[in-house]
């Protein structure tokens, strides 16, 4: 099965990027149960889900970019219903609202990535890139036989980085070429530790077709390892 990487659009149709520019929430930014502190963790009943303030020049689309969060995006009821009609893994949805420039509250949703199921990756065919923290200097490209080898390398880099206070001396590793197994049968899933953004949403050909046929807005599809914009 063919898969595509899903991005929020940065084209003229959205008006302004990011579209959602400010969270409206209870509590404090530092509260551990705030949504933006849930990176690599699932949402539960204690998670504080923020409402989103729409930028005054931004347009409402079915998928919307956000200036905060843990990789989360805002989406319409229409797009959520389409996605949820397919099998999902490593992503969750939450109800929220968008506040327009006129103060109107509109029902919306959040899609939250929280896990990578590495079993759907053909690890020996993938490539892994060791770079500086910013990702603009590449030190080496590696291949691993198992995902455990990758995780061991990642943990070794995390340990060695503690020796350096200067962030310019620290290194990170990411999946620079993801190869997805042909028998994977999910509509959407998330991959963390991936080049271009640190995480990504990936959708099946069938889900992509359904989204396009339904004329959903604010969405860009690219090849699995293709950058956008």
What confidence tens digit (pLDDT) does each residue in 186-196 have? 999 999 999 99
Q: Is the pLDDT of residue 1 over 90?
A: no
pLDDT (0 to 100) of residue 69: 87
Please name the helix (run of DSSP H) or strand (run of DSSP E) that holds residue 153, with its range, or none.
Answer: helix 147-161
Mean predicted confidence (pLDDT) in 134-140: 94
pLDDT for the residue 172:
97
Give the model's confidence band at 110: pLDDT under 50 very low, under 70 low, under 90 confident, else very high.
very high
- This prediction's pTM: 0.93
Q: pLDDT-based confidence at 35, cuts 50/70/90? A: very high
Task: DSSP for 186-207, please give it.
Answer: -SEEEEEEETTTEEEEEEEHHH
**pLDDT score for 39:** 93
Give the mean pLDDT of the chain.
96
Average pLDDT rounded to a whole number, residues 28-56 = 96
- Token pair for 92: 């969750």
* Angle formed at CA 99 by CA 62 and CA 215, multiple of 5 degrees: 10
Q: Strand 73-75 relative to strand 20-24: parallel, antiparallel, unpaired? A: unpaired
pLDDT value of residue 80: 98
């Amino acid at each position: 099965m063919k898969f595509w990487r899903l991005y929020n659009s940065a084209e003229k149709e959205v008006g302004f990027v990011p579209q959602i520019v400010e969270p409206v929430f209870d509590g404090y930014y530092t509260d551990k149960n705030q949504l933006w502190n849930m990176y690599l963790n699932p949402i539960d009943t204690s998670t504080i889900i923020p409402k989103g303030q729409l930028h005054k020049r931004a347009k409402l689309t079915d998928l919307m970019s956000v200036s905060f969060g843990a990789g989360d995006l805002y989406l319409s009821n229409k797009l959520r219903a389409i996605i949820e009609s397919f099998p999902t893994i490593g992503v969750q949805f939450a109800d929220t609202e968008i506040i327009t420039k006129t103060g109107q509250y509109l029902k919306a949703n959040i899609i939250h990535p929280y896990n990578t199921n590495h079993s759907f990756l053909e690890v020996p065919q993938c490539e892994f890139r060791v770079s500086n923290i910013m990702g603009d200097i590449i030190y080496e490209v590696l291949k691993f036989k198992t995902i455990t080898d990758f995780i061991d390398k990642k943990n070794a880099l995390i340990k060695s980085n503690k020796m350096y206070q200067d962030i310019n001396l620290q290194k990170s590793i990411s999946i620079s070429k993801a190869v997805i197994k042909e028998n994977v049968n999910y509509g959407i899933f998330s991959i963390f530790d991936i080049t271009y953004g640190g995480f990504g949403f990936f959708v099946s050909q069938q889900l992509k077709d359904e989204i396009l046929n339904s004329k959903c807005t604010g969405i860009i599809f690219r090849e699995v390892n293709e950058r956008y914009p």
